[in-house]
């Protein structure tokens, strides 16, 4: 009887694409894949460590799996495993902790996945736990990955870049992922073709710092040819794919050339997710971001001027050390004034080995929570205003999987979540709909035309 494995992912879309690659390795070895929550012989958790809450959620999931299935062989990998392997290894029942490089080499380290007393082959030994991990300066490999969105056959996340060379004062991702590196542009195209041949209608480009894509080809006589993100977009534009999105892109890397391509091609979705982090230039400087508020504002208005009906999502952090009430008010007013469609709001979280953890004037945790809620309310307002603009209009929606109560959901090109009664032939197809009713939280109601 073949063994079974259950996998679960926390964090960014890049993690989801990489978990899919790990799952394929198990399938190639004859393992059956069980849904998360079902009993399985092996459990793999691909972790996030962007905040303390993310770390806490990782620990809770690990303990829950061990409590409910004590015989399961538990493997933990991802950013949390790279940054704090000792915390995971001390949890009773964990069997294997793998760092960022090692997550794709499971079968190099274990073959039977049996719970037993084993010795550590690398850095550390905690009871019966094997911990395998390289230091951050050794994280220089690039492993190809792509995955489906929620196991559907509609949207695929294609990994084109990994790591980050930026030095934001609050962030541990460069320590968890290593230096910036990119996939050979020919491999990007090759993987995109595989995605298309598998029936996907949308490709979402993902990475730690996707806009920093750079692949260099050495030419004779010491010369080289450098490919940037715009070159990837030009190549993908030639393929037979309905839609292309960028998962997230830093504001200083969203160039006029990229915007011009978006206006000239019908394949690129009129939607961007652009991290801001603070609307106050003083706080942005303390965060060591590569722009100020005026630069960001000019970019948002430029995008709106160039691209019709564009949807723009924004990341923002509240409660960064030194963020006074006045600084926060600046952020609120700044965001409220911008033509954007939604926010992703994070409370600042102290991260070990960052510059920010030693900054003075820490913001009280209760105040951080209050500010987070204020901005989430603003996000609901922005989303409702954005959705309402399109009520009564006709939009093309890529429908995904059937939900409960006989409805099906999908996204417009500008990232409006849409819901409609299910009918045969809707799933994994682009349908023209008429939007009929908006809500700040729920999907927009629609009727298929």
Candidates 387, 390, 396, 375; CA nearest to 439 is: 387
The domain segmentation of the chain, as residue ranges, is: 4-134, 139-268, 270-387, 394-448
End-to-end CA distance of the chain: 49
Tell the burial category of 348 from Cβ atoms under 10 Å away from its Cβ (0-12, 13-18, 19+).
Answer: buried
Residues 4, 31 contacting (CB under 8 angstroms): yes
H or E stretch at 367: helix 365-388
Residues 154, 201 contacting (CB under 8 angstroms): yes
- In words, the CATH class of domain 394-448 is mainly beta
Q: How far apart are CA 50 and CA 54, in angstroms?
A: 6
H helical segments located in 163-280: 173-177, 185-197, 229-237, 256-264
Do 270-387 and 139-268 have the same topology in CATH? yes
Average pLDDT over residues 175-200: 95
- The answer as to CATH 3.40.50.12160 being correct for domain 4-134 is yes
**What pLDDT shows up at residue 1?**
61
| Residue in the structure block whose two tokens are 């939009």 | 395
Q: What is the DSSP letter of 135?
A: -
Tens of pLDDT along 259-273?
Answer: 999 999 999 999 999
- The answer as to CATH 3.30.750.210 being correct for domain 139-268 is yes
Average pLDDT over residues 392-405: 88
What ranges make up the beta strands (E) of 333-380? 342-347
Residues 312, 272 contacting (CB under 8 angstroms): yes
Q: How far apart are CA 52 and CA 45, in angstroms?
A: 17
Q: How far apart are CA 402 and CA 408, in angstroms?
A: 4
* Least confident stretch, 78-87, 107-116, 213-222, 304-313: 107-116
Tens of pLDDT along 42-65?
Answer: 999 999 998 999 999 999 999 999
Under CATH, which architecture does the 270-387 domain have? Answer: 2-Layer Sandwich (3.30)
């Amino acid at each position: 009887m073949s063994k079974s494995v259950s996998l679960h992912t926390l964090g960014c879309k890049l993690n989801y694409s990489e978990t899919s690659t790990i799952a394929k390795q198990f399938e190639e070895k004859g393992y059956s894949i069980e849904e998360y929550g079902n009993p399985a012989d092996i459990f793999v958790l691909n972790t996030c460590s962007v905040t303390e809450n993310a770390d806490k959620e990782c620990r809770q999931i690990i303990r829950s799996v061990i409590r409910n299935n004590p015989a399961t062989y538990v493997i933990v990998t991802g950013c949390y495993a790279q940054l704090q392997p000792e915390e995971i290894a001390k949890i009773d029942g964990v069997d294997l902790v793998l760092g960022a490089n090692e997550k794709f080499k499971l079968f190099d380290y274990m073959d039977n996945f049996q719970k037993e007393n084993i010795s550590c082959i690398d850095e550390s030994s905690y009871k019966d736990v094997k911990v395998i991990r390289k230091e951050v300066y050794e994280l220089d490999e690039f492993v190809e990955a792509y995955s489906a969105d929620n196991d559907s056959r509609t949207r695929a996340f294609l990994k084109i870049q990994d790591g980050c060379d930026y030095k934001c004062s609050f962030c541990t991702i460069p320590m968890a992922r290593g230096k910036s590196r990119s996939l050979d542009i020919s491999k990007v195209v090759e993987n995109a073709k595989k995605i298309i041949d598998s029936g996907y209608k949308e490709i979402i480009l993902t990475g730690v710092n996707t806009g920093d894509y750079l692949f260099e080809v050495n030419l004779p006589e010491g010369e080289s040819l450098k490919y940037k993100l715009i070159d990837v977009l030009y190549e993908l534009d030639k393929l037979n794919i309905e839609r292309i999105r960028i998962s997230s892109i830093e504001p200083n890397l969203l160039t006029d050339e990229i915007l011009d391509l978006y206006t000239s091609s019908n394949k690129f979705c009129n939607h961007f997710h652009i991290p801001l982090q603070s609307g106050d230039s003083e706080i942005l400087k303390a965060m060591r971001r590569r722009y100020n508020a005026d630069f960001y504002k000019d970019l948002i208005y430029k995008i709106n001027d160039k691209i019709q009906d564009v949807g723009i999502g924004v990341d923002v952090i509240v409660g960064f050390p030194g963020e006074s009430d006045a600084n926060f008010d600046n952020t609120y007013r700044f965001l409220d004034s911008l033509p954007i469609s939604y926010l992703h709001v994070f409370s600042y979280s102290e991260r070990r080995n960052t510059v920010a953890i030693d900054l003075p004037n820490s913001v009280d945790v209760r105040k951080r929570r209050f500010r987070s809620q204020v901005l989430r309310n603003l996000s609901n307002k922005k989303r409702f205003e954005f959705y309402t603009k399109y009520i009564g209009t006709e939009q093309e929606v890529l429908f995904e999987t059937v939900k409960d109560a006989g409805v099906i959901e999908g996204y417009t090109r500008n990232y409006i979540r849409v819901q409609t009664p299910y009918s045969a032939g809707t799933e994994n197809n682009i349908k023209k709909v008429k939007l009929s009713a908006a809500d700040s939280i729920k999907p927009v109601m629609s009727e298929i035309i």
